[in-house]
Amino acid sequence: MFKNTIIIAVLVFLSGCAFMSPEKSLNKTLEAVNNSEQNITRRLEGLDANLSKQTNYIDGLESKMVQLSRDVALLKKSHVDGASVKTLTNMKPNPKASSNVVVADLEPQARTGMVTLGSLEKVYIDVVKSAFVARVDTGATTSSINAIDIQKFERDGKKWVKFHVSDEETAPENRKWVEAPIARHVKIRQSSADELERRSVVELWVKIGRIHEKAQFTLTDRTQMDYPILLGREFIQDVALVDVSRDFIESKAPKKP
């Protein structure tokens, strides 16, 4: 009997649900939709907040990058090439300055044995026992010499070359032949030509004041230049500093005719 009563109660409840009015069913549906919209809205608000935080973080990084770029630019601007800085030791001391004040020397410390060269120096070439005026150029990598009448030949199975060093002071009949083994060849592109020109490189003992070193010279046509010899960085490095504001520091200037 009790079982039958329960079955009847369940059937009555189900029938009541089945016969729920359409209005109540619609309200339930609308309530569920509203709840879903509210959940979606809350999630979108959370995403917006996170996006705003990320945007602020990116803006902060950009500001730091801009400041870093400015700092790097200031460092580059304030950087001084030590080779072109004039020494402070030549400045007259201020008698009123305190003896406790030490002025920093902005010129690089020359190693033992190094000398200072001017933008022009007199170069003595051992093999011809003659001196020529040379342009000292820290912007050029290699050294070159104004060679004319170039002739290549072989000696003891090795390639040699002989040439005259051309300068305005030596008459053509007084020029001496320079003979030297070819150390290597270089290819140089002239600004007026598209093809590469192959040139010989020789080693010569030269002397500039206290400097007596073997240097490599590219044989080239420097007739359009003011000076027959160019001394580049490969020769200057480790042996000398350059003061471009002065001439003939280590050697004597040639006598004017």
Joined tokens for residue 52:
């705003």
The residues pairing with 122 across neighbouring beta strands, listed in sequence order, are 133
Residue linked to tokens 């990116």: 58
User: Averaged over 102-112, what is the pLDDT?
Assistant: 46
Q: Which amino acid is at 172?
A: P
The residues pairing with 212 across neighbouring beta strands, listed in sequence order, are 207
Give the pLDDT of residue 222.
Answer: 87
Return left, alpha or beta for 248; rule: phi > 0 is left, psi -120 to 50 is alpha, else beta.
Answer: left
CA distance 225 to 247: 17
Pick from 83, 129, 125, 13: nearest CA to 245? 83
Q: Locate the domains of the chain by residue range.
A: 2-75, 115-243
Helices (H), the chain: 2-18, 22-78, 233-236
pLDDT(221) > 90: no
Give the pLDDT of residue 5.
Answer: 52
pLDDT, tens digit, for every residue of 56-67? 677 666 666 656
pLDDT(6) > 60: no
Which of the two residues, 85 and 2, has the higher pLDDT score?
Answer: 2
The CATH classification number of 115-243 equals 2.40.70.10
pLDDT(157) > 60: yes
CA distance 239 to 136: 13
Please list, residue by residue across 27-65, b when 16 or more beta carbons sit within 10 angstroms of its beta carbon and e when fewer do: eeeeeeeeeeeeeeeeeeeeeeeeeeeeeeeeeeeeeee
- CA 169, chain centre distance (Å): 40
Q: Which amino acid is at 152?
A: K
Of all residues in the chain, the percent with pLDDT exceeding 90 is: 41
pLDDT averaged over the chain?
77
User: Averaged over 89-95, what is the pLDDT?
Assistant: 45
Highest mean pLDDT pick, 20-24, 110-114, 223-227: 223-227
| Beta strands 196-208 and 120-125, pairing class | antiparallel
Joined tokens for residue 137:
């150029």
CA distance 34 to 23: 16
Structural contact between residues 231 and 121, judged by C-beta atoms closer than 8 angstroms: yes
pLDDT, tens digit, for every residue of 13-49? 445 555 556 677 777 777 788 888 888 888 888 777 7
